Amino acid sequence: MKRIEIYDKIVSAFEHDFSWLGKQFAEEFLMSVASWNIQQFSNPPFRVRRHLLLYWKAGWLKSSLLTKAFVLLGNDLCTMMSDVTNAALRGTVDYGKFVSPFTLKRPFSICTEFGQITSGGDSTELVQKLLNVLEEGVVTVSLGKISQLSKTAKDKAEEEYGITFIDDNTFTYRTNWVLLAGTYNKRFLIDNAFESRFNLVVPEKPLNSLLTKHIVNTTPQLIDEETKYEFRRAIVEKNEVRSDVKLPDEIFDLDSELDPRRCSYLLSYKMCRAWWGIKTESEQLINLLTELKKRTDSIWKSADDKVFEVIENEPLSADEIAKVTGLSKRQVYYSLKNIRASRIIEDGKAKWKII
């Protein structure tokens, strides 16, 4: 089965069950899957791995989508975590045997409660360690229990997991592990530190009752076993791809402050689509860069900022402001008060503007 056929079947099934939200998730999920294979077998000179973070309000299927991804990947390729812990990143020693970190157990891990990482007394160390894993994939671990390991146990751990013991209490390892997670709270992004590591997925359309109606009234479409088998086989199949891809000049003209990390993101997107057999036009990359900038603004701008911005140059009604910003009308009125907007009557309709 060709990769593009696998891709189309999986996207179709998710779209059938979850409408446009399922399609959006499936496409991003499949890019992350391709990114692991490229990082593992093609040795690109930059990070191609695309960690996925679903970011939207609670109660809207993040865990359901991630669980379906886990089932599709299977136990041999993916682990499921309730939260990210120090033990998950550094491993431990149990009865004289080395227990590997989650990052070395399988290529992928799914975490449905990503926000818990910011709680606890050792959260600063944990966050920094995870940031290192997500970016460079290189981790140095200090663990007192390592001294309990015999030389034979250490040799076995080095051979099996590719780790390197530095001294009696320290080892280092490299991983191409990909994390797929979900959260609903901006504070879990740690002042955009995680945003720069993840492919942050925000819904491209409103989460509303029409979407709910589709989901609750639709009979699930099962993905056949052959497609699952071919999907898993393709993930671990060694197939080198070219990493000397280029971005169109228009990209650099569009954003004068474009940094290398965002360039790597765009290159990764192009390479991952090519891995699935999908060609990427220059216009698509330009649109993606524009969308990335909008996504960042939508996350970090306050409600007051958003309202101020849309009425700075032209007066709008409260309904129009809510539609443009995606805020509730209640929040719109709060923000109008906070920014001291002026109410006017235009064409018989109450509108708001900055004076």
Spans of all domains in the chain: 3-244, 301-353
Lowest mean pLDDT among 112-116, 237-241, 262-266, 344-348: 112-116
Strand partners, 139: 173
Residue 92: the pLDDT is 81
pLDDT of residue 122: 55
pLDDT-derived band at 186, boundaries 50, 70, 90:
low
Position 157 scores a pLDDT of: 82
Helix H or strand E segment including 68: helix 62-73
Decide if pLDDT at 126 tops 80: no
* Average pLDDT, integer, range 332-343: 89
Fold adopted by 3-244 = Rossmann fold (3.40.50)
pTM of this structure:
0.79
Would you say residue 190 has pLDDT above 70? no
**CA 120/CA 28 separation, integer angstroms:** 31
Tens digit of pLDDT for each residue in 204-236?
Answer: 888 889 999 999 998 988 899 999 999 999 999
* Mean pLDDT within 45-55: 87
Exposed/middle/buried for residue 154 (C-beta within 10 Å: 0-12, 13-18, 19+): middle
**Domain 301-353: top CATH class:** mainly alpha
| Residues 292, 294: Cα–Cα separation, whole Å | 5
DSSP track, 90-121: H-EEETTEEE--HHHH-SEEEES-GGGGG-ST
Tell me the C-alpha distance between 321 and 355, whole Å.
Answer: 17
Q: Which of 162, 143, 165, 144 is nearest to 154 (CA)?
A: 165
What three-state secondary structure class fits 354? coil
pLDDT mean over 85-105 = 80
